[in-house]
Structure 1
Amino acid sequence: MLIRHCLVVATLLLAGPGLAQNPAEPLPSPEGEVKLVVSGQIAATNQDDEAHLDLDLLETLPRHELTTSTSVTDGVIHFEGFLVRDLLEWLDANGETAVAIALNDYIVEIPLQDFYDYDVILATHMDDQRLTRRDKGPLWIVYPRDDHAELQDIRYDYRWVWQLHRLEIE
């Protein structure tokens, strides 16, 4: 029996890590209005090869708060939302870049490494108010600008996508 067990383990190890892992579980379907579609190199999907997410699904991710200034608002703002890296891990994303697309068709490429180097959030609330389309919502990519001097660079300002509605992982 011990020999058989060792052979199974050896076979799994030689075959590579892919066989030993469980495939990503399918995501629940959204029940409300879809606010974010994530596509590309993701394993967890709920419609074709994409993840269609409403606010209820997004808000199952751990909440994160961030207080920072922005280049488009006055003063220091309190944001609430969830870490982008938590979203990427939930969707089992694999890639180098996220192409962020806003409702007004603004498009910017963001290195995925940003989301691991900094506590970048997808904000759903600003100063305790839910973000609306009139106020840069319902989702806004927000960097912890005041916590890191390098994030004051204009190159990072371009990555603050408000009215985000799509992420393509490449």
Structure 2
Amino acid sequence: MISRRQLLACVAACTTVLATAPAAHALDKPKGKVVLTVSGKISQSNAPGKVEFDMDMLAALPQHSFTTMTPWYKEPRKFTGPLLRDVLAAAGVQGKLIKAVALNDYKAELPVDDSARFPVVLARLMDDKPMPVRDKGPLFIVYPYDTDEVLRSERYYNRSAWQLKSLEIE
């Protein structure tokens, strides 16, 4: 007979294994051009002190899509990519704050909790096509603005970094 404490420990261990299963594949070394680097308070790595992703690695994570209005386009657009929470889980993020850095060094801060509260997508496709740099690509943090009135505000629009190149976790 096992004790309640032993059972809870076993459940916790199994949950951890299941939760990190997709991350094992995502943490292979990139074979293509690195498009995203996650660094800072992380517990996983595939390069010294960081996790590097190429586009194929991001595409290998579970993909999610939604169509939403944004302040940057006149018509609703469909965004597809892994959930931000899945990317953070692959890196073993342990911090509370994300500093998203764009190719032009624009920085946006967002709480890690946003990825749990909302299905935030790290969009790699817009309207089912890769996004070129001139059109906010190759990666774009997108909230599902149409699903919650609170998301239709400057606070969340400012957290939506496009031309994303890195996530620094504090």
Structure 1 residue 155: Cα displacement: 1.1
TM-score, length of structure 1 as denominator length: 0.85
| Stretches (4+) displaced over 6 A | 21-24
User: Equivalents in 2 of 1:60, 1:118: separation in Å?
Assistant: 21
Q: Is the 8 A contact 1:25 1:44 kept in 2?
A: no
Structure 1 counterpart of 2:54, which letter? D
Give 1:48 shift.
Answer: 0.5
User: Aligned letter for 2:126?
Assistant: M
Distance apart, 1:120 and its partner CA: 0.4
Rounded Cα–Cα distance in structure 2 between residues aligned with 1:25 and 1:132? 29
Give deviations 1:28-52, integer Å, cap 9, x for gaps: 1101000000001111101101001
More helix by share: 2
CA distance in 1, matches of 2:31, 2:140: 22
Q: Is contact 1:67-1:76 (8 Å) kept?
A: yes
Secondary structure at the aligned position of 2:82 is classed as: strand
Equivalenced residue count is 157
Give the Cα–Cα distance (whole angstroms) in 2 for the partners of residues 90 and 72 of structure 1: 30
Distance 1:30 1:80 in 2: 21
Secondary structure in structure 2 of the residue aligned to 1:53: strand
Question: Distance between the aligned counterparts of 1:86 and 1:129, measured in 2?
Answer: 21
Secondary structure of the residue aligned to 1:119 is: coil
Q: Residue 40 of structure 1 contacts residue 50 of structure 1 at CA under 8 Å; is this kept in 2?
A: yes
Give 2:133's aligned amino acid.
R
Task: Please report the RMSD computed on the Cα atoms of aligned residues, expressed in angstroms.
Answer: 2.3
Identity within the alignment, % = 41
Give a deviation string over 1:92-116, Cα, whole Å, max 9, x none: 1111110000001100110111111
Partners of 2:37 and 2:150 lie apart in 1 by 29
Q: Which amino acid aligns with 1:149?
A: E
- Separation of aligned partners in 1, 2:89 and 2:118: 15
Q: Is the 8 A contact 1:102 1:166 kept in 2?
A: yes
* TM-score with structure 2 setting the length: 0.85
Q: Confirm or deny that 1:155 pairs with 2:163.
A: no
Q: Residue 54 of structure 1 corresponds to which residue in structure 2? A: 54
Between structure 1 and structure 2, the one with the greater Rg is 1
Return 5+ residue gaps in structure 1 as ranges.
Answer: none
Shift of 1:25: 5.8
Letter in 2 for 1:94: Q
- Using the alignment, how far apart are the partners of 1:89 and 1:28 within structure 2? 14
Question: In 1, are the aligned partners of 2:24 and 2:90 still within 8 Å (CA)?
Answer: no
Amino acid in structure 2 at the alignment position of 1:98: I
d(CA) in 2 for partners of 1:88, 1:122: 11
